[in-house]
Structure 1
Amino acid sequence: MNKIFSLYARDIRRITGNWAAALVIGGLVLLPSLYAWFNILASWDPYGQTKGLSVAVASVDKGATVQGKSINAGNEIISSLKENHSIGWVFTTPEAALSGVKRGEFYASIEIPSDFSQRIASVLTENPQKAEIQYTVNEKINAVAPKITSQGASSIVEEVSRNFVQTANGAIFKVFNQLGAELQEQLPFIHKLTSLVLKLESRFPEINQAAKTASSDLNEAGGIVTRVQQALPQAKHLADQGLKVTSALSAFLDNSQNVIASSGPAAKSVLSQVEQTATNAAALAEMLKEANESGAVTEAVSRLEQNQTALAAVRQASESLSELLTQLKSWSLSSRGQSSAASSTLGRTADKVDQMIGKLTRLEQLNRSLLEAAKAGNALSPEELDSFAALSRETAAAAKDLLDRFEGEIQPALLGAVDNARASAKEAGDLLKDAKSTLPEVSHILTDAAQGIRLGSKELSMLSRQLPEAEQKVHELADRLRSLETEGDLQSLIDLLKLNFQKESEFFAQPVTLSEHQLFPIPNYGSAMSPFFSTLSLWVGGLLLVSLLTVEVHEPGLTYRSYEVYFGRFLTFWTLAVLQSLFVTAGDLLLLGTYAAEPVWFVVFGILLSSVFMLMIYTLVSVFGNVGKAMAIVLLVLQLAGSGGTFPIQVTPPFFQAVYPFLPFTYAIRMMREAVGGILWDIVGSSALMLLLFAASALAIGIGLKEIINSVSSNFVKKAKRSKLIH
């Protein structure tokens, strides 16, 4: 032991006593830190194959009933995901999903809550509620995977929204179509009733004349009364039919008001989605500027493709909203009682939505142009990028302006159209009730008139007194029918209800929101990558030390046993490796400002990793000489791709997935990630145990094989040195 420590002490004195040696060794201590710091600062956001990423999916949706039909949106999502192979979906229970995310078995979990279908169905109630999908992600497992799984969760929300528009809202507007067709079928009855009342009004002069001249023209008056009496049953039948139609119309308009009121949050969501998509496009423009400057435009292809899809979706939804607003404005102008202010509000809103659609169309064109350039690997046009960013901000501002005015201006104008129609329908119903209640009186009067004609001049005077009253009532009824026909336009309402229900349903925006929970939040991508680059730099640091410093001892007059040389010189290498680790980890935290939930343990784990790596590299070189250096470099190359430090191991080729459990980087990076994201000590313990097994293996090789292999290979080494090419 004395020789071991004396050898170590002599090395330290020689380093501190020779300024040239101290300068070189100081550079060796500092270089690994620079390697780590530059890589962390320059790290990027890679995307690759994602079907190997395990994402747990759990549904506890109890379903709901809509208009007597049972639905379960959660089961539909599960069925859809089973056909989706872009991510490795694992279907399990909520408890197993959350536990798996915590333990790192899954990168994220998606839970469909029990009231998911019920919330979607609430669009038909007075208090609609948006449905939520619970998304939980483990940020510390891998830096890139959370970004990829988040895209997968967003795609589920988009799919549910599309289904919602195509089914629930489509069914609502289909009912509108059916009611419009019913009104169209009953319209001839309404016109026929109006014609009959007007005809009755026109006959009263004849009746009066017949009464006045009954004595001279009694037969003619009897014929007229008989014809009118024959028409009364038909008038009563038509009045009954008209009351049924107006009653159905009033009930329908009441429901229409509820539907339009409950659709308000969905219409607002269209504008909110436009604002969010435009805001995301502005952020994408800034990212593209940075990518353009660094020459990494091809890495933005997937983001541009996703943005192209999102822009097309919100543009189509906005076009449907514009079409509905235009139809409501056209109808409101022709409907009695609609205020000019509400009509003007609908027109201005439609114009602003059309302007916003124009901006979205131009954004799609610019996005397509940038996408084509990125796919071709060409540099992006700065002018197009500036236009793209400015137009994105203008679009977001336009959508926000409409959102701010929705509750106070737009929604009341929409409801005003239905209120006006409902008032007209009520007036028509009252008119028909009056008509029906008047007909018995007219029948009674005509019966009396007939009796008077039969009785002759004795009863004629009494009949003459009753005819003016009947004539007045018929005049009033006829005047109200003419007023309704002139001021109200029932055909306009029917035309509105018969609009294409599929196109009308498309104006609704996504009714589902995503609630994300980060178990181990890491604020930036650089901090998430610091475990990998710090670990890598420590291995590189060990390689630098064995490349420039000798592992052998040549002291004239002194003899050392093999294990004394092995341990004595290792202490020197270990001291320098610890200094390298302190520079790397402390520099990450203090100079770069990388985040670590447990900064002290980050430094401590770095010392442990550096010690194990140095022991492994030193042993390879001490036992195998220059061949050992080559072996250490091969290990480095394998661990770069096979340790899951950058991309998840599941997206690497099968060979790297096979060697993954046998590489020290695997457990070293895992320990450092625990310190950065938040420690689970059982994971730290298992990783530390594996690293200690690597260290024990290195010690066994160094102690057991150094003397044997050195003596066997001494002649080979001497022969190689004579070539003057190998030292």
Structure 2
Amino acid sequence: MWSIFTKDIKNIFTNWVAAILIGGLTLLPSLYAWFNIEASWDPYSQTDQLPVGIVNEDTGATVRDKEIHIGDEIVKELKKNDDMDWQFVDRKEAMDKVEYGDYFAVIVIPENFSKKLGTVMKDRPEKAKVEYYVNEKINAIAPKITESGAGGIVDKITSNFISTVNGTIFDKFNELGLEIEKDLPDIKKFEEYVFQMEDKLPEIQTLLNESLADAQNAQNIIDDAQALVPDAKRVTGEGLQTIDETTTFLKKAENRLNQIAPQVQKDLEEVQSMATKVNEFISNVQTSNINLNQGQQISEQINEQIASSMKNIEAVEAALKQLQEQNNNEQGTNQNQEQIDQALEQLAVLKKELQSIQQGGQRINTFLSDKQQEVDGLIAQLQERSAKTANEIDAFVKEYNENIEPTVRQEVANAKKTLGDARGILIEIQSTLPEVEKILSNTEGNLGEGEETLKHILAEFPYVNDKINQLADRIREIQGETDINEIIELLQNDPEAEKGFFEEPVKLNKNSLFPIANYGTGMTPFYTVLAIWVGGLLLISLLATGIHRSEGFTEKQIYFGKLFTFISIGFVQTLVVTVGDIFIMGVDIAEPVWFILFGLVSSLVFILVVYTLVSVFGDVGKAMAIVLLVLQIAGAGGTYPVALLPEFFQSIHPFLPFSYAIDLMREAVGGIVWERVYRDLMFLMIFGLIALLIGTFLKGPLSKKTKALMKKSKESGLFH
């Protein structure tokens, strides 16, 4: 083994071609790492060379009588910003250039941008939108960078907007604090009012229930009244008809009274005259010598006179009865009725007296012949009754002229006036009935609405009751926990200080436990480990894993002899790349010595793995080493966190040497946590030990098959 190793080292230093090739092999992996580290050093410092179009279409807005132009303000700020190469153009030019690839992205501020932001002062604010167009096919990273820039614009707008709005709000809060302090007595009264409301809620509920019952009763009354309106219309119409008929009848009665009054007066005068004549006749008879033989003649004369008087009295009686009947039909007054009844009674008395005289005249004729002696007495009696009757007739005529006829006429006139007034009232009632009907209808509708309102209020009353109780409880709770004077003091804080706070309410205080200077430094562990593996691949591609003359050497001797050569060159490659990272690239390494030592350990393990694969399996081993490289680049977590990788790569991650080598180098770059170093070293040693065991025990048994396979591949003319 030592002989093979020393011979290889001697050949490197004695053969200039070999020396140049080995020199190239030691340098090439370093270039791979250094170029990638340099390219990744600080890519975001060059974003000012990324052209991004800015289109401002904002037309501004008026908020509380103040003109605002947020779009112009954004453009003004971006012109002072050099994070990217901002290009201020119109929409058409911007869209043409982003489609062609001249712009990586375009940000459009729409015309309603200020207007949307201004809705914050309204009941329903609307969010403003910024349009963002990106050409993602140009580059994989550039869209993320431009998107970050667009997000930065939005964040800046949001921050300024929030600070401005909150500054305004706290200005109002300051004013509100002063107002609350001024209105503190009213607030106390409000608290008392809430507590009173809480106490009155049961009474209010009772009153609402009673009001609902009253409304339902009123509805029934309205329904009854509406049902009576048609009857009222009918009765009013019938009343008017009755009044009109009665008035007509009264007019007829009045006309009839006017017609019969002269006749009645004439008849009464004739009765009065007859009574006087009868009285004079009896007086003459009394003073003259009466011949009893002339009794028949005297009786006939008396009967004739009395019959004429009776006829006249009956005519008057008939007229009065007719007047009495009319008076009954006209519903006259009691006084009018009594006058007529009294007159009829007096006429009946007169008729009775006349009839008595008539009977007395008949008795004269009867008794003249028999009772001469009684003639004088009877005549005297007749004369007395005749005089009395004449006086009564005179009194009745006087009573009729002075009282009966004027009273009847007055009562008729009064009845006509009363009927006229009644008719006017009924007409007024009749004209009012439609209005009454309308009022009843409106009242019914209002009552219905009121009843529905009361029902709604009663339905909502439990909610109101709960809310008022909650409000009262909350006020008591606040009173127990918070002093309103403290709230007033809080509201009266400095608005400018509050504005500054909300512009940046949380300030990130970054504390880097293991500070990394830049992105290139952060990628150094990955690219350095990758370069070490690539160096191993270059070695197995150019250097032979066997010897030309193998006589006298065992397969194990050949394996270990060549392994020492590969390890030695691998160490040189690792020293070049790690020392170059520190001194040529200027990477800020926290533990540079350990960085170099960890690199040598990684190189040892990688060479063991790669060399063993090729030494044992030949060309198949080379393919296996390349496949392993591909899997480790994707699955070792060198660029992206393992948690972000697909499930397959997450599952193979623990079985890849890269995973532990990169982690080991990161410890040296950022700062060492020895527990992690021990773990990583342990797993790397396991990978190296496995490779060493495979080479030690499988090199010999598989040697013939590997050589036969390589010979067959060379026969194809495609492989060396």
Is TM more than 0.5 here?
no
Report the TM-score when normalising by structure 2: 0.42
Report the TM-score when normalising by structure 1: 0.42
Q: For CA contacts below 8 A with separation 6 or more, give which structure has more relative contact order.
A: 1
Q: Which has the greater radius of gyration?
A: 2
